[in-house]
């Protein structure tokens, strides 16, 4: 079977590092499949440059050109921009990024971490460390709003006080007012849902204003920090706790090779790994379906698990989300060290219907490994 | 007073009233992911089954008053209407039933949104009905307020001072004015008779 696969990733613009990492994973997988003589997937690459209007224009253009499967979008805003076009023209988006949940669209396959894979384990971990006071800061769009809303609920349910909550405009690198407020208080943990340059400048600013907190495990918590742009943070990220479906130390040779060949920073991240796995899933489903019809391919993809470079991946045919095996990692001098991992894959719970039950069960399935 | 939106339905029970078992199963699968126990009902809904449910999801294309064990517009739970044909007559029936939220059959992926909206609209409707019932009850007590003012005027006060006295009594007892008036009259049974 052959397929033209749209790869819409912003490899330039404010969150270019994430797009570059995801694109590297997709290209690495396509290359590997072709070398093995499997499905012939031809990438059709488009770079929206982080510009929302470009997502619309490029998605429209690809769909007009007969492309039916698109792997891409990084931010939830870009995904939501693409969905109406996919609905009208019968396309399918394979979305490889962690997101805030509360969505289950019939034209999207959600392969990244859902909130029960990131917000819940991170906030549980914060509580287990005995932290008592948290400050929430996020970019002023749906990822920031929703992850921090969930974080507030989860932390407060643990009895942790939220001493402040601020949102900054997307792309803003001026955080003095936030740092003034934050540093004037005794904050155990800063929950950080900033993205791109805002995140980088904020963490550097925080480290400069309060160097004593840097390195303390969990002084900053993130739900999506990966190796894709960890290098930009330098020592300022030391002690940051993050959740992810895969960290570099767990990457096998295939992912390392893809990173080496295609990622500008040569690093494996969950963006890279998930995009790599997405291509493997698409290729396998294509063979199973014997057709590139999006509905048939999705049904084939969700009918049985697929072995990927991330391990075996199952997709819920109803909510269209992947089961993942999330880990928690601490940043240390530009690398992540896994400190907890789920013993088995966890179904996505994008609406957090089972949050309380998960919390009760979690003690038996997580183990501290180092 | 603001109320937090309900967005976790885990542990609740939904009845799906739809003649198509296939549609019922698709909704059941989604409800299952939301932690909702689902009973698919292909025919009329009887009151004993309805008593077990927290919400009703029904097909407005085919439902009619006779299928529901309550008077029109008086469902004792949130009702989500599934829109199929969009015929004005069926939409009119659903509106008369005071359906709380609508979900096109082609958009079952948005069931969660319909549930959040439906539960909030139902809660607001219930609050409004409670408020309206209380207003009606208190309106019935207006004559007692006049009688109580007249009683208090008998102690040498003018009507403004008597009303102020009655208000103070109500405030101290933390009662509506009408209830305070009724209690005062009960303590002075002749006042009610004397005022006609």
State which residues of chain B have pLDDT below 50.
1, 196
Say if A152 is an interface residue toward chain B (CB within 8 Å).
Answer: no
C-alpha to C-alpha distance for A116 and A98, rounded to whole angstroms: 11
- Considering only alpha carbons, which residue of chain B is nearest residue A108? B109
State the pLDDT at residue A158.
95
Strands A161-168 and A220-222: unpaired
- In a structure prediction context, what are the per-residue pLDDT tens digits for chain A, which is 370 residues long? 789 999 999 999 989 999 999 999 999 999 999 999 877 899 999 999 999 999 999 999 999 999 999 999 999 999 999 999 999 999 999 999 999 999 999 999 999 999 999 999 999 999 999 999 999 999 999 999 999 999 999 999 999 999 999 999 988 999 999 999 999 999 999 999 999 899 999 999 999 999 999 989 999 999 999 999 999 999 999 999 999 999 999 999 999 999 999 999 999 999 999 999 999 999 999 999 999 999 999 999 999 999 999 999 999 999 999 999 999 999 999 999 999 998 899 999 999 998 754 444 443 333 444 3
The closest alpha carbon to A133, from A183, A201, A204, A195, belongs to A183
State the pLDDT at residue A368.
42
Residues 6 or more apart whose Cβ sits within 8 Å of residue A322: A109, A110, A111, A112, A313, A314, A315, A316, A348
pLDDT in tens, B26-40: 999 999 999 999 999
A146: which chain B residues are within 8 Å (Cβ-Cβ)?
none
Tokens of B14: 């939904």
Q: What is the CA radius of gyration of chain B?
A: 25
Residue-wise DSSP of A28-62: HHHHHHHHTT--EEEEEEE--TT-HHHHHHHHHHH
Q: What is the CA radius of gyration of chain A?
A: 20
β-pair partners for A368: A340
Q: Look at B8 and A318 and tell me if their CB atoms are within 8 Å.
A: no
Residue-wise DSSP of B51-99: TT-SEEEEETTT--GGGSSS-TT--SS-EEEEESS--HHHHHHHHHTT-
Q: If interface means Cβ-Cβ distance under 8 Å, which residues of chain B face chain A?
A: 7-10, 29-30, 32-36, 109, 112
State the pLDDT at residue A40.
86
C-alpha to C-alpha distance for B41 and B71, rounded to whole angstroms: 19
pLDDT in tens, A22-62: 999 999 999 999 999 877 899 999 999 999 999 999 999 99
B117: which chain A residues are within 8 Å (Cβ-Cβ)?
none
Residue B105 contacts residue B23 (beta carbons within 8 Å):
yes
Residue B105 contacts residue B84 (beta carbons within 8 Å):
yes
C-alpha to C-alpha distance for A184 and A179, rounded to whole angstroms: 8
Residue A12 contacts residue A47 (beta carbons within 8 Å):
yes
Residue A31 contacts residue A322 (beta carbons within 8 Å):
no
Tokens of A78: 């870009």
Minimum-distance CB partner of B8 among A104, A105, A353: A353
Q: Look at B33 and A351 and tell me if their CB atoms are within 8 Å.
A: yes
- Considering only alpha carbons, which residue of chain B is nearest residue A320? B109
Q: Look at A351 and B29 and tell me if their CB atoms are within 8 Å.
A: no
A104: which chain B residues are within 8 Å (Cβ-Cβ)?
109, 112
C-alpha to C-alpha distance for A29 and A255, rounded to whole angstroms: 8
C-alpha to C-alpha distance for A242 and A287, rounded to whole angstroms: 36
pTM of the model: 0.89
Residue A288 contacts residue A300 (beta carbons within 8 Å):
yes
Q: Look at A319 and B112 and tell me if their CB atoms are within 8 Å.
A: no
Surface-to-core class of residue A153, CB atoms within 10 Å of its CB (0-12 exposed, 13-18 middle, 19+ buried)? middle
Say whether the ipTM exceeds 0.90: no
Q: Look at B112 and A104 and tell me if their CB atoms are within 8 Å.
A: yes
């Amino acid at each position: 079977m052959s397929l033209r696969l749209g790869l819409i990733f912003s490899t330039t613009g404010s969150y270019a590092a994430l797009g570059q990492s995801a694109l590297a994973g997709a290209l690495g997988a396509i290359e590997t499949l072709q070398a093995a003589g499997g499905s012939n997937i031809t990438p059709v690459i488009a770079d929206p440059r982080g510009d929302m209007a470009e997502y619309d224009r490029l998605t429209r253009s690809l769909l007009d050109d007969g492309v039916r499967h698109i792997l891409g979008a990084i931010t939830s805003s870009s995904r939501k921009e693409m969905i109406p076009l996919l609905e009208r023209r019968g396309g399918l988006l394979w979305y490889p990024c962690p997101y805030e949940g509360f969505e289950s669209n019939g034209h999207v396959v959600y392969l990244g971490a859902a909130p029960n894979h990131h917000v819940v384990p991170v906030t549980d971990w914060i509580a287990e460390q005995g932290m008592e006071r948290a400050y929430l800061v996020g970019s002023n769009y749906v990822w920031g709003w929703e992850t921090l809303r969930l974080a507030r609920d989860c932390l407060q349910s643990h009895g942790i006080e939220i001493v402040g909550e601020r949102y900054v405009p997307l792309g803003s690198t001026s955080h003095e007012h936030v740092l003034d407020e934050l540093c004037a208080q005794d904050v155990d943990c800063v929950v950080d849902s900033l993205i791109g340059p805002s995140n980088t400048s904020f963490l550097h600013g925080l480290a400069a204003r309060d160097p004593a907190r840097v390195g303390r495990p969990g002084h900053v918590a993130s739900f999506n920090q990966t190796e894709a742009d960890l290098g930009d943070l330098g020592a300022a990220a030391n002690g940051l706790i993050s959740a992810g479906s895969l960290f570099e130390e767990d990457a096998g040779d295939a992912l390392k090779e893809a990173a080496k060949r295609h990622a500008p920073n040569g690093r494996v991240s969950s963006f890279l790994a998930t995009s790599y796995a997405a291509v493997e899933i698409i290729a396998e489903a294509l063979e199973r379906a014997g057709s590139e019809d999006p509905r048939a391919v999705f049904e084939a993809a969700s009918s049985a698990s697929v072995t990927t470079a991330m391990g075996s991946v199952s997709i819920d045919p109803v909510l269209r989300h992947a089961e993942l095996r999330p880990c928690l990692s601490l940043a240390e001098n530009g690398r992540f060290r896994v400190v907890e991992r789920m013993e088995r894959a966890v179904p996505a719970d994008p609406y957090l219907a089972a949050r309380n039950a998960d919390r009760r069960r979690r003690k038996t399935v997580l183990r501290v490994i180092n | 007073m603001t109320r937090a939106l309900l967005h976790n339905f885990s542990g609740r029970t939904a009845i799906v009233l739809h003649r198509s078992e296939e549609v019922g199963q698709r909704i059941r699968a989604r409800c299952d992911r939301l932690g909702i126990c689902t009973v698919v009902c292909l025919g009329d809904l009887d009151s004993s089954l309805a008593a077990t449910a927290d919400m009703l999801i029904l097909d407005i294309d085919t439902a009619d008053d006779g299928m529901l064990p309550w008077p029109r517009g008086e469902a004792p739970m949130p009702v989500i209407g599934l829109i199929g044909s969009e015929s004005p007559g069926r939409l009119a029936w659903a509106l008369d039933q005071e359906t709380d939220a609508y979900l096109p059959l082609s958009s079952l992926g948005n069931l969660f949104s319909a549930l959040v909206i439906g539960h909030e609209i139902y809660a607001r409707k219930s609050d409004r009905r409670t408020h309206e019932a209380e207003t009606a009850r208190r309106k019935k007590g207006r004559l007692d307020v006049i009688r109580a003012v007249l009683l208090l005027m008998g102690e040498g006060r003018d009507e403004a001072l008597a009303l102020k006295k009655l208000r103070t009594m109500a405030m101290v007892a933390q009662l509506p004015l009408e209830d305070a008036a009724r209690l005062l009259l009960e303590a002075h049974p002749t006042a009610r008779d004397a005022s006609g």
